[in-house]
Amino acid sequence: MQYLPNTFFVIALISGLSFFVMNIRKIFRNINLGKSIDRTDNKSERWKNMIKIALGQSKMVRRPFSGFLHIVVYLGFVIINIEVLEIIIDGILGTHRIFQGFIGAGFYAFLIGTFEILAAFVFIAVILFWTRRNIANIKRFLSSEMKGWPKMDGNIILYFEMVLMTLFLVMNATDTPFQNAGIGNPVSQFIAPLFDGFSLEALHVIERTAWWIHILGILVFLNYLFYSKHLHILLAFPNTFFANLNVKGQFNNLESVTKEVKLMMDPDADPYAAPLEGEEEEVPEKFGASDVLDLNKMQLLNAYTCTECGRCTSACPANLTGKKLSPRKIMMDTRDRLEEVGRNIDTNGGVFKDDGKQLLNDYISPEELWACTSCNACVEECPINIDPLSIIIDMRRYLVMEESAAPQELNAMMSNIENNGAPWQYNQQDRLNWVNEE
Amino acid sequence: MMAQGKQPEVLFWVGAAGSYDDRAKKISRAFVKILHEANVDFAVLGTEESSTGDAAKRAGNEFLFQMQAMMNIEVLNGYEVKKIVTCDPHSFNTFKNEYPSLGGKYEVFHHTQFIQNLISEGRLKIDESALQGKRVTFHDPCYLGRGNDVYESPRDLIRRLGVNLTEMKRNKKTALCCGAGGAQMFKDAEAGDKEVNILRTEDALETKPDIIATGCPYCNTMMTDGIKFKEKEAEVVVKDIAELIAEANNL
């Protein structure tokens, strides 16, 4: 019976971690459904970006208030995790505050004291976040794509954090020897009086309960990530590492198109030529994207990384002027569809069975896609370098090149370019007339 | 010029707007005056110039873009063009970033960068008395600013005009689009509660400007329309930086 708690702890820990790993593998599998894209060049620049943007939060603080609150929660999260390490070791070995013996009472008190202060700050920051989401009428939290589950998801994460921080402080406040020592308890000493008059026995039970719920809560939260928008705490790192390093104005040139255009412009090419012997007749590649499988791996990683903060949408000229387009919704739709495709693969024994649905129309409408001005405000705004614009452009490419479904006026513009080398209907022979007019 | 075996210093890519749009033609002429003033030996392609394909690419027509690009590259390489300057940030961006991998490698300048170089080489001076004291706000073209991180060249030129440069609340990295990009110039906007150019014009008007300066013919159109919509034509003018310099130097 003596080892019952340890055994239970190890079982909980292992199942929590395995379930998490299983789900993470599913995410990797889904991301790998995307097309390959080489983002391994210029490693030093990539490390720099990751350290600056993900680790250093440099883009978060462009909006000072939410940026500051985020840094508080982020630092709290990272630093308090040192304490989780101790909790795990204690849980496995059945010890109590094992680090204390190793690092000395003074330094230990300093560490726990720091954690307590951070926990209190995190608690306050999370309350403010909750207020911003639910009371402050901030436009980007009220958009139509934030109704229902996304809104609840955001709140659940905040409740999790409130509860975990409270449990951590309660656990310290009811740890009688710890309180009696009187150091390392800058916050919990003010919570301890709430338990005045409790017997030592009762205090111990409360302390143990808080300790257990706290660590089990962390394991549950870890697994909740997979179902929530909160994966950014992990994926922000690869996402910033693999982000596009070119200037934002540069759009990729589709190689499949280059091949065809070169063939068309080559006077020696024989359009009816049979494929060379031994050369497989290629299935022509689809131009652009109508579903998640047409997107590249980084675009899919972007979708899982998005935490739906909506800074992109709040800077989007189309959205600001009441159009349907919301770059955040583009990312949310991409993820929702990708998860649907993933579930489809799971239930069909590892292969995707056509479900008659796709990202285009079933999730993202042409009206949204055509409202984009390609201004890159969304890409610039994203605190972790997500690129909604590239998805919009790939879907436009599908609409135009596979479906010939551009708006009428754009078709006119394009046939003008084809016929007279300008988006308007002017004669190319008049191109130099401006010189002599005044 | 080619026939005489001479190479101009730079090719001025006029662009469709600069060639055909009445408002933008004035920008082309102003820039040419500046080039003359600085004794720049330049050439234009004239009737051999064609669309860069930028608008087609942003609209999703990669085919048409690459056809245009390859035809242009053939012409440009045929003339052994090394340096290109343009008043259009969209052409600038396309030449600079999207042509190289298709075989068109040139040194590409936006006209504000080119003029800045002329000044630093001592070939051009801006008269800072003519427009002194005017309140000027600068609207960042997306494909110059966010697209290529060029924020300072236009501002440097504006400061040299001796004017009072005031920034809009959304500027540089956070500048709001004029509404023309991504081929929007050539179509009606989707249903919404406002036009983008009106919102941007409001940003500009908040700075109480005498002049809204731009560095893009499309932004110029959008902002000019915005000013008309707001019935502020009497108080506020929309001018390209090239026009302001030509005006200041009385060219």
- Give the tens place of pLDDT for each residue, A8-62: 999 999 999 999 999 999 999 999 999 999 999 999 999 999 999 999 999 999 9
Q: Is B57 on the interface with A (CB under 8 A)?
A: yes
d(CA A282, CA A288): 17
H or E element in which residue B11 lies: strand B10-13
Contact at CB, A315 and B102, closer than 8 angstroms: no
- Residues A85-122: pLDDT tens digits? 999 999 999 899 999 888 988 999 999 999 999 999 99
Predicted confidence band at A4 (pLDDT cuts at 50, 70, 90)? confident
Whether residues A422 and B25 touch (CB distance < 8 A) is answered with no
Smallest CA-to-CA distance from B88 within B184, B217, B198 is with B217
Helices (H), A230-310: 232-241, 255-265, 297-305
- Return the residue matching tokens 């708690």: A5
Alpha helical stretches, state H, A94-231? 98-103, 105-134, 149-173, 176-181, 188-191, 200-224
Rounded CA separation A323/A326 (Å): 8
Q: A24 is written with which tokens?
A: 């993470």
Q: Which residues pair with A364 in a beta bridge?
A: A360
Nearest to B219 by CA among B147, B132, B127, B119: B147
In angstroms, rounded to a whole number, what is the distance separating the alpha carbons of residues B199 and A215? Answer: 51
How far apart, in Å, are the Cα atoms of B52 and each of A56, A392, B216?
40, 21, 15
On whether the CB atoms of residues B62 and A287 are closer than 8 A, the answer is yes
Say whether A422 and B20 touch across the interface (CB within 8 A). yes
Judged by CB atoms closer than 8 Å, whether chains meet at A412 and B186 is answered as yes
CA distance linking residue A385 with residue A67, whole number of Å:
15
Q: In what order do the strands lie in the sheet with B164-165?
A: B164-165, B135-138, B211-214, B237-240
pLDDT in tens, B201-247: 999 999 999 999 999 999 999 999 999 999 999 999 999 999 999 99
Q: Per the CB < 8 Å rule, is B191 touching A323?
A: yes
Q: Percent of chain B scored above 70 by pLDDT?
A: 98
Please name the member of A317, A393, A409 whose beta carbon is closest to the beta carbon of B187: A409
Q: Which residue has the tokens 């329309």?
A: B225
pLDDT band, residue A283 (cuts 50/70/90): low
| Cβ pair B101, A253 in contact under 8 A | yes
First to last CA, chain B: 25
List of chain B residues whose C-beta atoms are within 8 Å of the C-beta of residue A381: 174
* Strands across the sheet containing B10-13: B42-43, B10-13, B83-86, B107-110
Of chain B, the percentage scoring pLDDT greater than 90 comes to 97
Q: In the Cβ-directed half-sphere of B250, how many Cα atoms lie within 13 Å?
A: 4
- What is the CB neighbour count within 10 angstroms for residue A118? 22
Measured between alpha carbons, how far is A371 from A315 in angstroms, rounded to an integer? 14
pTM given for the model: 0.94
Rounded to an integer, the average pLDDT of B4-9 is 79
Nearest to B74 by CA among A267, A427, A99, A228: A267
pLDDT in tens, B28-74: 999 999 999 999 999 999 999 999 999 999 999 999 999 999 999 99
pLDDT at position A117: 96
Q: Of B101, B176, B182, which is closest to A372 when you measure between CB atoms? A: B182
pLDDT number for residue A2: 75
Spatial contact of A420 and B47, defined as CB atoms under 8 Å apart: no
Chosen for mutation from B20, B52, B174, B201 (greatest number of chain A CBs closer than 10 Å) is B20
For residue B16, count CB atoms less than 10 angstroms from its CB and return exposed for 0-12, middle for 13-18, buried for 19 or more.
buried
**How far is residue A156's CA from residue A377's CA, in Å, rounded to a whole number?**
29
pLDDT band at residue A280 using 50, 70 and 90 as cut-offs? low
pLDDT reported for residue A273: 65
The whole-angstrom separation of Cα B239 and Cα A134 is: 45
Mean pLDDT of chain B: 96
pLDDT tier, A281 (very low <50, low <70, confident <90, very high otherwise) = low
CA distance A73 to chain B (A): 26
DSSP state letter for A61: G
Dump pLDDT digits (tens) for A212-265. 999 999 999 999 999 999 999 999 999 999 999 999 999 999 998 998 898 888
CA distance A375 to B183: 11
Query: What number is the ipTM of this complex?
Result: 0.95
Closest CA to A374 of B153, B159, B89, B203: B89
Burial A119-135 (b: 16+ CB within 10 A, else e): bbbbbebbebbbebbee
Average pLDDT for residues A312-334, to the nearest whole number?
97
Which one, of B71, B10, B64, lies nearest residue B42 by Cα? Answer: B10
Cα(A328)–Cα(A92) distance, integer angstroms: 42
Q: Say if B27 is an interface residue toward chain A (CB within 8 Å).
A: no
Measured CA distances, A299 to A330, A367, B243 (Å) = 11, 21, 42
Q: In whole angstroms, what is the distance from residue A105 CA to residue A392 CA?
A: 57
Cβ contact, residue pair B199, A317, below 8 Å:
yes
* A359 close to A333: Cβ distance less than 8 angstroms: yes
- Mark yes or no for CB contact A377/B177 under 8 Å: yes
In one-letter notation, the amino acid at residue B47 is T
